[in-house]
Amino acid sequence: MSQSNSQSNDEHPELAEAADQSVDRSATTAASATTAASTGSSRCGYVAIFGRPNVGKSTLLNRLLGQKLAITSHKPQTTRHTILGVSTLDAGQILYVDTPGLHQRGGNALNRYLNRAARSILTDVDLVLFVIEALQFGDEDALALAEIAKAGTPAIVAVNKTDRIADKARLLPFLQSLSERHAFVSMVPVSATKGDQIKRLEAEVLAALPEGEHLFPDDQLTDRSERFLAAELLREQLMQRYGQELPYRTTVEIESFTLETPSRKRQAEGPRARIHALIWVERESQKAIIIGRRGEALKAAASQARLEMQKLFGRPVHLEVWVKVKDSWSSDEAALASLGYGEY
């Protein structure tokens, strides 16, 4: 898999002006960035994309990378694992780490795992990219900010979803209140969906990173395996296609992932991935819903997942999917570990 950094160049001066009026930039950071640029040195570091659920963290990661890596949906808590996205630029390499949304809801084993995974990364990165929704700052945002302060890691705020705010002047008092909550390196209003201010955010992030050589090959997108990404892409379809509660009782396990040598007629296509996947649910009634009438619902989800896999992997994919029941897997620590939730 190679990466492409094709990003929107649409910039909104009123957004930049609002941010500039509400936060003083770090003189040290600006000076070090200028020095690095003049000497031709490179910057490199890890950046945690952190915040409450459903603020657009994974959408922002995909936009910063210039292509889809992390799965997305309109439902909160879509992200269940940390995932590394490598962005290689002329001036350096940014190693973004997408994290599950930090939340207060739910007390089962899966919820506890998600919060541990999110918190665990904060002290292991060079910078935190704190993502919040424009004009929204609730208890879970405050919880996330408290964790950032506790970790002591420098942070930039990405104020997302500004495309939903018609009168951008309304952002001024909101940004001012944010600057009073924490000593942020900088604050950048953005729209991950539209691509507004993404170049500016990228520049701010890079300037805040230490000088250093690239840690990954320039054409590498992530350190996650295709096996892992295949499971995520199938789970994305479950998140997008089924009701509010059912996706939270499902997970995906890849039983086998093999590359087949193509026939002479298909030599130009390269090896084909043959993937056998299991969708785990907690009850028989959930299994029936996932499969649907005459298997149509499952067939539609698997078909779209296969297309997404082919696009990301750059090769033909043969996907077979089964649905099985594992009672109360989301509340069982041992079951979670067996399904890949043991490490962050």
List residues forming the annotated binding site for GTP.
51-58, 98-102, 160-163
List binding-site positions.
51-58, 98-102, 160-163
Assigned token pair, 201: 């955010």
* Residues in a beta bridge with 89: 92
Strands 317-325 vs 251-260: parallel, antiparallel or unpaired: unpaired
* CA distance to 80, 178, 335, per residue, from 111 (Å): 9, 28, 14
Assigned token pair, 51: 């915040």
Cβ(165)–Cβ(159) under 8 Å?
no
* CA distance to 90, 159, 174, 248, per residue, from 196 (Å): 21, 11, 18, 32
